[in-house]
């Protein structure tokens, strides 16, 4: 049996700047794609018996303190933290911290680079 080395195409982060710019330019094709955005106030773990007893006026204690930052998730991935605000009659989120990708040491357009790097550090979610 003969074993030969395999040559892989370079990863986006290894491409020259002009090639990366071309990849980011192609993002124009998908900028209108709808993404699920979720704001997570907190979490808890309940036994099934407690879940089955939930009814109107039940209160569930979460793992966060009042006033603590909430998580902003896009398609289930943590991308930022923020504070809850009121906009007219609706709630909103003011972004206070955008999560950097794992091992980030580059400058420039983080969002485009994050998409190429495979996303953000989701803090274990």
Contact, 70 vs 81, CB < 8 A?
yes
Per-residue model confidence as pLDDT tens digits over 36-95? 999 999 999 999 999 999 999 999 999 999 999 999 999 999 999 999 999 999 999 999
Distance of CA 95 to the CA centre of its chain: 13
Segment 95-117 shows an average pLDDT of: 60
Looking at the predicted structure, is the pLDDT value of residue 113 above 50?
no
Query: With contact defined as beta carbons under 8 Å apart, do 93 and 38 qualify?
Result: no
Among residues 58, 29, 30, 25, the alpha carbon closest in space to that of 44 is found at 58
For residues 56 and 25, which has the higher predicted lDDT (pLDDT)?
Answer: 56
Reply yes or no on domain 34-117 having CATH 2.30.330.10: yes
Other CB atoms closer than 10 Å to residue 78's CB: what's the count? 19
Q: Spell out where the chain has E strands.
A: 37-40, 70-74, 77-87, 90-98
Residue 14: closest CA among 23, 26, 4: 23
Confidence class of residue 121 from pLDDT cuts 50, 70 and 90?
Answer: very low
100's tokens = 């950097």
Mean pLDDT of the chain: 78
Mean of pLDDT values over 102-109: 52
Q: By C-alpha distance, which of 103, 101, 125 is closest to 111?
A: 101
- Residue 8 DSSP code: P
| Count of all residues that appear for the chain in the document | 125
Name the token pair of 19. Answer: 């090639």
Question: What ranges do the domains of the chain cover?
Answer: 34-117
């Amino acid at each position: 049996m003969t074993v030969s080395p395999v040559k892989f195409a370079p990863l986006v982060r290894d491409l020259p700047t002009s090639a990366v710019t071309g990849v980011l330019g192609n993002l124009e094709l998908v900028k209108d794609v709808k993404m699920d955005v979720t704001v997570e106030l907190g979490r808890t773990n309940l036994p099934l018996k407690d879940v089955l007893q939930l009814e109107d006026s039940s209160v569930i204690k979460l793992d966060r303190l009042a006033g603590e930052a909430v998580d902003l998730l896009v398609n289930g991935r943590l991308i930022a933290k923020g504070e809850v605000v009121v906009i007219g009659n609706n709630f909103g989120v003011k972004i206070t911290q955008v999560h950097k990708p794992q091992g980030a040491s580059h400058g420039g357009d983080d969002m485009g680079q994050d998409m190429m790097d495979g996303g953000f550090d989701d803090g274990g979610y």
